[in-house]
Amino acid sequence: MEKKIYLDNAATTKTKPEVVDAMLPYFSELYGNPSSVYEFAAQNKKALDEARLTIANAIGTESAEVYFTGGGTEADNWALIATAEAYEGKGKHIITSKIEHHAILHTCEYLQKRGFEITYVDVDENGVVKLDQLEKAIRPTTILITIMFANNEIGTIQPIKEIGAIAKKYKVLFHTDAVQAFGQLDINVDELGIDMLSASAHKVNGPKGIGFLYIRKGIKIRSFIHGGAQERGRRAGTENVPFAVGFGKAVELATTTMKERTKKETELREYLIKRVLAEVPYTRLNGHRTKRLPNNVNFSFQFIEGESLLIMLDMNNICASSGSACTSGSLDPSHVLLSIGLPHEIAHGSLRLTLNEDNTMEELDYTIDKIKETVDKLRKMSPLYEDFVRRR
């Protein structure tokens, strides 16, 4: 196929043309600083407020609780580090899961080195956090539970409402990294008992470099970036108005199209899963069969290595990703795949395909053909497959 087939929407998404159009005036003619007093700048303040309100409404809250950040990673860092500093008088214990994004896990490591204790709760074979273990891990010194809304690799959706209820029962703060879920799933912070939530614009067809942290009113965490009075003094620095406007536009589009879009993505997802599992032997689906993001598919193909698969798919104009060590820059394959109990060699052979609403059946048929061809070619090359065939 001549055309590129983009199946890596969990990595990033295309900035929608409507989003770009909405942003453009704020780079050129409407360049004022929202903090200035003159009328010219007031338009920027207004645009910023509108974007914030759109985002706040999308998670069922009000704009005073939404703080723009430089992305999802910054929001995660802020939530964890500032909570740790603000509540260390109460205790120095934080609970998270083994399958969080590195924005959470590496921030936890940072805190651990500074005297905090972290409990990493296990997940089951589908990647669902073990709630009984989570509840048992709570101590009088626990100040925060941070569990992702949905996993970025295997797409498993966590029992957020149940976790929110547990957090409330023990009066512990609950933060969720919703970078993958935001814009794909219905989120209402009050109904789900969420105290803090991180999200990012570029995962929902917005620009890269902007995200937000929702902080429930009354939570006393402090500024992460010190300086001026922007973002109510909690996140200093002149606001990135064009990006905030783009984020607002992206969220408006994501919210209004959510039902229709996720229905289509789910259909495509199911088609892809069913065909690949039926037509490629020695293949497994990673993540929960049904409680998964509408656009996420993650397979493990036995006897082959993921990076080889990605390069060969790339040669056929298919963009995808893998949890193999070679793509993570370390010797170990994805911590998520190991946490759901996969042996190393099966984790190395993983392939993640994340869809968007513009993908077509024709694209998927082509992709499935190429997967079959490539997996077959790589297996013929694989000493592991040779040994397997011999033993059989």
Partner 1 sequence: MYTKKVMDHFSNPRNMGEIENPSGIGTVGNAKCGDIMRMYLDIDENGIIRDVKFKTFGCGAAVATSSMATELVKGKTIEEALQVTNKAVMEALDGLPPVKVHCSLLAEEAIHAALWDYAEKNGIKIEGLAKPKTDIHEEEEREEIVY
Q: Which is nearer to partner 1, 271 or 385 (CB)?
A: 385
Catalytically annotated residue among 30, 273, 319, 326: 326
Amino acid at 103: A
In the bound state with partner 1, the residue whose beta carbon lies nearer, of 26 and 303, is 303
Residue number with CB closer to partner 1 (70 or 333) = 333
The binding track of 244-283 with respect to partner 1, each residue x by CB under 8 A or -, is ----------------------------------------
* Cα 165 to chain centroid, rounded: 22
Question: CA 256, CA 13: separation in Å to the nearest integer?
Answer: 18
Q: What are the φ/ψ torsions at residue 15 (nearest 5 degrees)?
A: -70, 120
We find the least distance from the C-beta atom of residue 25 to partner 1, in angstroms, to be 38
Q: Could you tell me how many helices (H) and strands (E) the chain has, helices first?
A: 14, 12
- Rounded CA gap, 319 and 8, in Å? 6
Across-strand partners of 215? 196
**How is residue 249 written in tokens?**
């536009």
| Alpha-carbon span 95 to 100, nearest angstrom | 11
In eight-state DSSP terms, residue 15 is P
Provide the residue type at 279 as one letter.
Answer: E
| Contact between 345 and partner 1 per CB under 8 A | yes
Residues from 86 through 145 that contact partner 1 (CB under 8 A)? 106-107, 109-110, 113
Least distance (Å) between residue 348 CB and partner 1: 4
Residue list 297-316, contact with partner 1 (CB under 8 A): 303-305, 307-308, 311-312, 315
CB nearer partner 1, residue 298 or residue 334: 334
Q: Residue 326, interface with partner 1 (CB under 8 A)?
A: yes
In sequence order, what DSSP letters do the residues of 318-342 get, joined into one string? EE-B--SHHHHTSSS--HHHHHTT-
Q: Which is nearer to partner 1, 169 or 344 (CB)?
A: 344
What minimum distance in Å lies between the beta carbon of 298 and partner 1? 17
The correct pick among 13, 198, 286, 382 for binding partner 1 (CB under 8 A) is 382
Whole-number Å distance between alpha carbons of 312 and 267: 26
Q: Is position 326 annotated as part of the catalytic site? A: yes
Distance CA 5, CA 147 (A): 32
Residues annotated as catalytic are 326
Residues of this chain that interact with partner 1 (CB under 8 A) are: 106-107, 109-110, 113, 303-305, 307-308, 311-312, 315, 324-326, 329-331, 333, 344-345, 348, 380-386
